[in-house]
């Protein structure tokens, strides 16, 4: 006999009837979908690993094919899942459906010709970006070469030529394709129940799309005063260095002189803007690593030992056998650092061309954060094997990096003495990386959300881009830009269709995690001096949070570690409070006029 579930609709006297047969059908569908996806995920992961560590025409073709197959399977399952939208399910099954339905970055239309065209457009945009050259005075540079020159050179005119050359090379070619991409991907998003791609992306955060917009903006408003003080100081110092005619002491900073192609990280201009006494107090481990003969695997061992000191199990033997730690001499590879879990269980790996430097020492800790997180939630069902939200995954390893303090480095023998007065130089350099990134991390997707929603027309793409950069970052283009240009296309994540707000959220969360872990470890001093190394009590809670994966709303998962159900920038502000006080004092001393 057929049984029925009778559920009253909220705010209504109407009753909806769902047969037990329909509920069981929904469970059967999602369980089979997980099985099919897990199999294809593992296949795609193996093939993409081969491609990225052994680039040939054939491996590229095989990887392209499996990625297309995975995309088609996912979209087909998402569209099939919509027939269960109005079926009331148990909480676990319901969450699996929701996660499946927001699991794609690129939603393809059902029409095969449109789907095929969208795939071609996406490939063409990435190809234009990856093959672009910044040409200066008859000589052309790859993006990597241009980035290195910008990082090292203090030549105002050369930096301008490289900045403009890169944007001229890729933007105008990408713009017409990007407009087509927006139209086609929005069609795909609407077919699976979303107003546009922006709403699809924002719907991954366990709250209504409009509420998420409010949360992100509130976080930005929290950190804005700190950013404004830093911007004020940097602009004043750059004006002193280059002269008022090139960098006025009020208004916007020219975008090309901040040591980074996108002005998203200003740490490369530290030597210009830091007081001379600060430069003598910087802590570096590169010389010590070389003296000790530490090789690439040795660098990774330091990072593994930190996690093990917290109570994590050591990495499996297969990690050391199968990872790529340095650039091979006999073949082309993708050197961009990344962490992998090939079988979604224990086949953990990193892929990285490691240099024996301070920077790569930190990057390795970041990548292992992904690996230890992946293993922590490996026993969850396939759709729950992910971060609580995308910002969590990026924040785990960076949280550990915050514990790489001078006291920790001394304890493990990488420095002999802690320089007196190291705090402010350290905080200034870190702020040029972490605090500076926040408005940039916000504006990338803020611009895209407006594009996807139709708020910005194609005729205003570049105008709105620079409005946001001026409004949020206080920077401006060094030369006139028009709608013939497409400066958003000069940032990889735009043509490559990679959501970006995760990085903004990660920069907030890592400080929130750090404070909670330091409290658990019983640390009582200034937050920036805390290292949780060897704290099993902190590690126990960290692991407990990580084990949940995506099985619960991120608010519940956050509360496991922090006791709070909201993301907050207050720990970040506490961490940088000594720097904020110093910046305000310096700005007052030099008479720098803040704001723009």
Cα 213-215-218 angle, rounded to 5 deg: 110
| Active-site option among 199, 296, 304, 394 | 394
| Active-site option among 129, 141, 503, 533 | 503
Q: Do 422 and 281 touch, CB atoms closer than 8 A? A: yes
Q: Element (H or E) spanning 582, and its range?
A: helix 577-590
> Using CA atoms in the order 369, 372, 377, 379, what is the torsion angle rounded to 10 degrees?
160
| Active-site option among 151, 195, 337, 559 | 337
Q: How far apart are CA 39 and CA 33, in angstroms?
A: 10
- Of the chain, the end-to-end C-alpha distance in Å amounts to 72
Nearest one of 278, 281, 530, 286 to 407, comparing CA atoms: 530
Q: State the DSSP string of 53-102.
A: HS--HHHHHHHHHHHHHHHHHHHHHHHHHGGGTTS---HHHHHHHHHHHT
| Active-site option among 336, 359, 411, 544 | 336
Q: Do 402 and 510 touch, CB atoms closer than 8 A? A: yes
Across the strands, what pairs with 111? none
Across the strands, what pairs with 139? 136
Instruction: Please say if 503 is a catalytic residue.
Output: yes
Q: Is 214 exposed, middle or buried (0-12, 13-18, 19+ CB in 10 A)?
A: exposed
Q: How far apart are CA 373 and CA 385, in angstroms?
A: 9
Structure tokens at 155: 């030549």
| Active-site option among 493, 559, 586, 590 | 493
Q: What is the 3-state secondary structure (H, E, C) of 341-355?
A: ECCCCCCEEEECCCC
Q: Is 480 exposed, middle or buried (0-12, 13-18, 19+ CB in 10 A)?
A: exposed
> Distances in Å between the alpha carbon of 31 and those of 19, 293, 363, 526?
19, 51, 37, 49
| Active-site option among 231, 256, 365, 366 | 366
Instruction: Please say if 394 is a catalytic residue.
Output: yes
Q: How far apart are CA 128 and CA 107, in angstroms?
A: 22
| Active-site option among 370, 507, 514, 528 | 370
Instruction: Please say if 367 is a catalytic residue.
Output: yes
Instruction: Please say if 336 is a catalytic residue.
Output: yes
Phi, psi of 476 (to 5 degrees): -140, 155
| Active-site option among 367, 500, 516, 592 | 367
Active site residues: 336-337, 366-367, 370, 394, 493, 503
């Amino acid at each position: 006999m057929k049984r029925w579930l009778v559920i009253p609709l909220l705010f209504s006297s109407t009753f909806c009837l769902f047969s037990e047969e329909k509920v069981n059908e929904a469970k059967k569908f999602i369980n089979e979908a997980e099985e099919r996806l897990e199999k294809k995920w593992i296949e795609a992961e193996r093939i993409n690993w081969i491609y990225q560590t052994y680039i040939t025409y054939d491996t590229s073709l095989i990887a392209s094919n499996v990625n297309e197959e995975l995309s088609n399977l996912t979209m087909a399952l998402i569209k099939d899942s919509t027939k269960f939208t109005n079926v009331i399910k148990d909480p676990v099954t319901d969450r699996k459906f929701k996660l499946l339905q927001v699991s794609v970055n690129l939603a393809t239309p059902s029409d095969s010709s449109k789907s095929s065209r969208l795939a071609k457009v996406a490939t063409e945009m990435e190809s234009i970006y990856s093959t672009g050259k910044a040409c200066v005075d008859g000589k052309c540079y790859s993006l990597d070469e241009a980035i290195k020159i910008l990082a090292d050179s203090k030549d105002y005119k050369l930096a301008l030529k490289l900045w403009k050359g890169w944007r001229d090379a890729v933007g105008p070619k990408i713009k017409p394709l990007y407009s087509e991409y927006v139209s086609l991907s929005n069609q795909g998003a609407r077919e699976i129940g979303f107003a546009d791609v922006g709403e699809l992306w924002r719907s991954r955060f366990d709250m209504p799309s409009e509420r998420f917009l409010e949360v992100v903006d509130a976080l930005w408003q929290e950190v804005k005063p700190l950013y404004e003080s830093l911007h004020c100081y940097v602009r004043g110092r750059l004006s002193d260095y280059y002269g008022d005619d090139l960098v006025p002491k009020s208004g916007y900073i020219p975008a090309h002189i901040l040591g980074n192609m996108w002005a998203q990280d200003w740490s490369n201009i530290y030597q210009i803007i830091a007081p001379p006494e600060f430069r003598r107090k910087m802590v570096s481990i590169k010389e010590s690593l070389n003296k000790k003969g530490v090789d690439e695997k040795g660098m990774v061992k330091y990072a593994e030992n930190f996690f093990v000191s917290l109570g994590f199990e050591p990495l499996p033997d297969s990690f050391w056998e199968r990872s790529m730690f340095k650039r091979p001499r006999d073949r082309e590879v993708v050197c961009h650092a990344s962490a992998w879990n090939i079988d979604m269980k224990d086949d953990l790996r990193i892929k990285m061309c490691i240099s024996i430097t301070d920077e790569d020492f930190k990057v390795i800790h970041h990548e292992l954060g992904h690996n230890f997180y992946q293993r922590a939630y490996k026993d969850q069902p396939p759709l729950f094997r992910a971060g609580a939200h995308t910002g969590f995954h990026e924040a785990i390893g960076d949280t550990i990096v915050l514990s790489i303090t001078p006291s920790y480095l001394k304890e493990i023998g990488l420095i002999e003495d802690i320089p007196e007065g190291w705090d402010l130089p350290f905080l200034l350099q870190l702020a040029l990386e972490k605090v500076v990134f926040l408005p940039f991390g916000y504006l990338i997707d803020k611009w895209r959300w407006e594009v996807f929603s139709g708020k910005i027309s194609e005729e205003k793409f570049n105008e709105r881009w620079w409005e946001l950069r001026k409004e949020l970052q206080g920077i401006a283009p060094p030369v006139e830009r028009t709608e013939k240009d497409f400066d958003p296309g000069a940032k990889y994540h735009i043509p490559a269709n990679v959501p970006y707000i995760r990085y903004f959220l990660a920069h907030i969360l890592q400080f929130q995690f750090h404070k909670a872990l330091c409290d658990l470890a019983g640390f009582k001093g200034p937050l920036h001096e805390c290292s949780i190394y060897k704290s099993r009590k902190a590690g126990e809670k960290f692991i407990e949070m990580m084990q949940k994966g995506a099985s619960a709303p991120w608010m519940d998962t956050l509360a496991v570690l922090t006791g709070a159900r909201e993301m907050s920038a207050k720990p970040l502000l506490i961490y940088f409070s000594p720097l904020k006080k110093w910046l305000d004092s310096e700005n007052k001393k030099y008479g720098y006029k803040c704001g723009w």
